[in-house]
Chains A and B, each alone.
Chain A
Amino acid sequence: MVTDRAFLTLDDIQVRYGDAVAVDHIDLGINAGEFVALLGPSGCGKTTLLRVIAGFVRANGGAVLLDGVDISTLTPEARRIGMVFQNYALFPHMTVADNIAYGLRSHRAPKESITPKVQEMLGVVRMSGYDKRLPRQLSGGQQQRVALARALAISPRLLLLDEPLGALDKNLREEMQSELLRIQRELGITTIMVTHDQEEAMSMADRIAVMNAGQVMQFGTATEIYDAPSTPFVSGFVGNSTFLNGVLGKSDDEHWTLRTSGGVELRFRSAGPCRRVGAARIALRPEQIELCDDGAAAVVRYARPMGPNTRVGVTLDDGTELQLAAPRERGADNLPAGMRVRVRINPRAVCPVFLP
């Protein structure tokens, strides 16, 4: 939804490379101070979109408006948008301090203000004292902090992050995630991050734009996207989903039923978008399915402990295969293969329903 309040507006952006469409008529409105993630598989156009905002790619159609001003034809250096690149792109022949000061000097900031600002930025990213180091003397995480400090030093109106955490190992990544978030909140800077890691997007972003094949499938909060995906793609991309086809019917005010072709009937609450009886498809997440005393009959295929949950694979009587995630303490670890059980959808769970 594009409103007048939006700080950054992408208005019908199109990018084509020959016959291939990279960005297919995208409208997006991002509010000031917001942390937005562009999430999608490789090739979905998220990086291209980011580069359009930065000014490195010229859109074939549409406009980019920043704070009400059309910046579509501005060169990258005129936009005052900070960018952190995937490989950090620190200037190898300059010290950390010179790297950070580079933007200040390019903007012709008064000489006296440069050193204090550099020190301030080093403090923000918690790298004080590293001024004289060269990039090759820093670890990956440290380089990333310097890259961030460098981008922030010019007091940008917008911060763009291109898969910033991809090269880090898991622990470091989580640490950097909270760091990034802390800094973003502290400075209140509007931030757009490109990532293919849905967990990262969901833990950091205020709103997520899920993209595929050059289009935005859904733009909403993590909860909205997870609980109420608007398309099967979103449902499948974010978290695990199993899709079931069948005939949708209404059970009572709050509950619906789906009858599969094999005759199995499941009862659930609907998140939409489809709300009419007839042929439909629902998406089930493992944590929404549970073992019970009365429900659809099924046979256990396997029970695998995985971290905090046990993944139990079952086959319904009509042949449908489901996977459910049971908390470890429920004792699901010991279910032998071949055992007959009963499963149902958790009555409080809300499932997305789509057209088939």
Chain B
Amino acid sequence: MAESTIGVRMRRRVDAVTWRFASFTTLALAVLLLLVPTFIALAASFNGGESLRFPPRDLSWRWYQALWNESDDIWEAFAISLRVSLLATLGAGLMATLAALYLSRQRSAWARALETFFQSPMMLPGISLGLALLVWLQTIGLSLSYWSLVIGHMAISTPYIIRTALIGFGQIDPSLLEASRSLGADSTRTFARITLPLAMPAVLAGGFIAFMFSFDNVPISLFLSDARSEVLPIRLWNLIENLLDVRAAAVAGVLIIFTIVFALVMERVLGVSRYVR
């Protein structure tokens, strides 16, 4: 028994309209969710007053000035973060790239298991990792220092690099390597001239992501830093929690701009978004 044509058409109209409405509103909500807080943090940093408010009153640069002139503690934390994350990314990058080179050519279950193992720090709660590492370092008699931070950060940087490196090496056409060898290049030369250059964008993309996550990390740093090596996120946290210092907003503002610029550049140069799936 067919429905009347008018009824069918009305049903279809309602269906289409409600669908579009629902899609649009949820999409708008998602976009707002992604953008708004960041934008607001940026805007709040220009607030002339002493509190964190939005919309900001008496727009001024004073907090940025305060950041520039009277914030040795913040700059020092920034320098430490930079050094730790750079070292960690480099160290992890080297080891992870070599490992990925081998693992990408293996088909065994062992290789897959190892890959999961190497990616595990990404999946597990940072707190547990941090505490465990702290206890372990004490057990083997390594005192906390700048280097304990680097050790911890290398562990959490590895997953990001090995993921993209595996993709990068895996994408290389094997006949390219054979061609290289038929032309007289041995394994080392083939690796240096063919494999590495072709996988480099992927490795660098992973390194970039690893660096950003390491720079941002709190749980590991919380457990593994000593009094002298305070990283930026923790310094920032102190500012926010304890002092409700509006300089925090300025730091946030700088970090936001820096991240956006850096990410856009990386996207342009390396096409980082390709490796995030």
Contact = CB atoms under 8 A, between A and B. Distances in A.
Nearest to B190: A77
Nearest to B173: A89
B223 to A, nearest CB: 43
B7 interface: no
A150 interface: yes
A80 B197 CA distance: 25
A91 interface: yes
A82 interface: yes
A83 B173 CA distance: 16
Given A85-B178, A89-B175, A89-B176, A150 B198 contact: no
Interface string B155-192: 00000000000000000010110111111111001000
B193 to A, nearest CB: 7
Contact of A54 (B182, B186, B189, B194): B182
Given A91-B194, A92-B198, A103 B176 contact: no
B198 A89 contact: no
Secondary structure at the A interface, as helix, strand, loop or mixed, is loop
Interface in B124-159: none
B161 to A, nearest CB: 21
Nearest to A162: B175
A134 to B, nearest CB: 13
Given A87-B173, A92-B198, A102-B193, A77 B179 contact: no
A3 interface: no
Given A92-B198, A93-B197, A102-B193, A77 B186 contact: yes
Contacts of A93: 197-198
Secondary structure at the B interface, as helix, strand, loop or mixed, is helix
A244 interface: no
B185 A89 contact: no
Contacts of A107: 184
Contact of A81 (B176, B182, B193): B182
A154 interface: yes
B182 A77 contact: yes
A272 interface: no
Interface in A102-127: 102-103, 106-107
A22 B60 CA distance: 79
A92 B180 CA distance: 12
B249 to A, nearest CB: 45
A150 B175 contact: no
Contact of A85 (B179, B194, B198): B179
A345 interface: no
Nearest to B198: A93
A151 interface: yes
B176 A154 contact: no
B183 A150 contact: yes
A47 to B, nearest CB: 12
A297 B220 CA distance: 95
Interface string B194-219: 10011000000000000000000000
Contacts of B189: 106
- Chain A CB within 10 Å, residue with most, of B176, B179, B182, B185: B182
A3 to B, nearest CB: 28
A75 interface: yes
Interface of B: 173, 175-176, 178-186, 189, 193-194, 197-198
20 contacts: A54-B182, A56-B178, A75-B186, A77-B182, A81-B182, A82-B183, A83-B179, A83-B182, A85-B179, A87-B173, A87-B175, A89-B173, A91-B180, A92-B176, A102-B180, A106-B180, A106-B184, A151-B183, A154-B183, A154-B184
Interface of A: 54-56, 75-77, 80-83, 85-87, 89-93, 102-103, 106-107, 150-151, 154
- Those 8 A-B pairs whose CB atoms lie nearest each other, nearest first: A103-B183, A106-B184, A89-B179, A106-B185, A89-B175, A83-B182, A76-B181, A107-B184
Given A56-B181, A93-B198, A106-B180, 13 more contacts: A54-B182, A55-B182, A76-B178, A76-B182, A77-B182, A77-B185, A77-B186, A83-B178, A83-B182, A85-B175, A89-B175, A106-B185, A154-B184
